[in-house]
Amino acid sequence: MTSSSDSPRPGLTIAVHGEDLDQQGRGIARWNGWVITVPELLPGELASVQLLQRQRRQWHGKKIQSIEPSADARRPPCILAHACGGCTLQHLSVEAQNRWKQDHLHATLHRIGGLTDLAAPLVSPEAQSLGYRNRALIPLQRLEGELRLGYYRRGSHRIVNLNHCPVLDPRLDALIEPIKRDLSDTNWPMDSDLRGKPGLRHLGLRIGVRTGELLISLVSATEHLPGLEQLAGQWMQRWPALKGVTLNVQPKRSNTVLGAQTLCLQGQDVIEEYFCGLTLQLGTTTFFQVNTERAEQVVTLIRDWIVGVAPSANVIDAYCGIGTIALPLAAAGLNVIGLEINRASVIQAQENARRNALRTATFIDGDVVDHLRQLLPIHQVLVVDPPRKGLAPDVLQMILAIPPAFLIYQSCDPATLARDLQQLAGPDGPYRIETIRPVDFFPQTSHLECLVMMVRISSEVRPRTA
């Protein structure tokens, strides 16, 4: 171990105290004026750490040995947790995960948005922390004759081979090992990164948590996989809950896992799910929150709040997807227009509305901002559920120019949420925040969703020219 007078360099071993976690779940420590980030280092832990690489004013290191463990440390429930990049917090107790997520949200809102004393407790902090995921897209690779199936090692594209994943719904987890054996027995090429001959790239699994219906999808760079339909037929006979097997074709070498074309090999290409009292259809490429129970709780909070403050309101659901927010609002008697740029999602939302006989939900495809100029003046409530990068600048400016009476923002990134709230609910913004509810959609990871409900400060606010 080195002394405090040493200069940092690759290979140097030092002793550090974990102080916090970063957004990727890595431990943060300080040594001789440097910030050190270390995977698996926990707050309160004293550990020996080897420095690996400098990046600006910080160093990345790896933990060699725990000298004094954190009081919140635990044995990870998955034996691959130390290597697999799918989860980053399994070595931290669930209670400590919840505390850190709330503290991280509060600190981010204050540091970026200038907002204080706003974050409420997590929605259902005692909820299921394992077996919650209703969907998986798992990379594949055949290496020297051996099939490797699993998620990537942290910071790399090297697959950590697995047979089980404890965060998956147990009914999905039970499929992994037998499907892996069957795929291994074929002679199909497999490489998620498409570095060799075109073949299989990912295994997709999906379940309707309430219905138990299963969908297996194979993602491939090619349609030409001899014997694929016969294997799909064997799976249909083996698992009665399996409603269909599909082949998604993605020939492009990119970070986009799923391609535009999906072929039905056996059975049907959709499954049913019961959600907020409605029946939804989910396909291979359908975006649907992976934590069904938590998603239902969030939609219930949104519905109950709108009904409480504006029971006869006209509502815009921006970034509506297949209608998981809009349809329950329509079922509660509200008039809702859903906006979504993905045409396939809009078609699916319209079909779900028809299946549930909901006549007060309308869905429009196209860029959100193109429709807001006409819709905001005649709608009292706006619900936004943007991607991780937050509200696009033109959408944010449109909301500021024509602020509806009530604004609900569901965020999947505290930093971009804080940035947007600084304009929406900062000193010069048109809104006051009534409620902030952090929601843990992804236990065992550092990700956190958050629901913010805002009220326009003055009922006398008039639309301005955008």
Burial of 281 (0-12, 13-18, 19+ CB in 10 A): middle
Q: Tell me, yes or no, if 165 is annotated catalytic.
A: no
- 314 pLDDT exceeds 80? yes
Residue 462's pLDDT band, with cuts at 50, 70 and 90, is very low
Topology (CATH) of 13-68: OB fold (Dihydrolipoamide Acetyltransferase, E2P) (2.40.50)
The tokens describing 103, both together, are 């503290």
Instruction: State the Rg of the chain over Cα.
Output: 24
- The topology under which CATH files domain 98-126+287-456 is Rossmann fold (3.40.50)
pLDDT of 159-210, one tens digit each?
A: 999 999 999 999 999 999 999 999 999 999 999 998 888 999 999 999 999 9
pLDDT at 6: 74
Residue 338 has pLDDT above 60, yes or no: yes
Dump pLDDT digits (tens) for 261-300.
999 999 999 999 999 999 999 999 999 999 999 999 999 9
**Angstrom distance (rounded) from CA 182 to CA 165:** 18
Domain residue limits, the chain: 13-68, 98-126+287-456, 135-269
One fold for both 98-126+287-456 and 135-269? no
pLDDT at 461 over 50: no
Asked whether the beta carbons of 135 and 288 are under 8 A apart, the reply is: yes
The DSSP code for 432 is E
pTM exceeding 0.85? yes
Of 84, 165, 320, 412, the active-site residue reads: 412
pLDDT at position 465 over 80:
no
Which are the contacts of 428, defined by CB distance < 8 A and separation ≥ 6?
none
What stretch of H or E contains 109? helix 94-113
Local structure of 299: helix, strand or coil: helix
User: H-helix or E-strand containing 219?
Assistant: strand 214-220
Token readout for 368 is 């959100």
Distance between CA atoms of residues 268 and 307, nearest Å: 37
| Contact in structure between 431 and 457 (CB atoms under 8 Å) | yes
Q: Residue 350: left (phi > 0), alpha (psi -120 to 50), or beta?
A: alpha
Q: Which fold has domain 135-269?
A: OB fold (Dihydrolipoamide Acetyltransferase, E2P) (2.40.50)
Are 402 and 86 in contact by the 8 Å Cβ rule? The answer is no
Question: pLDDT tens digits for 441-457?
Answer: 999 999 999 999 999 99
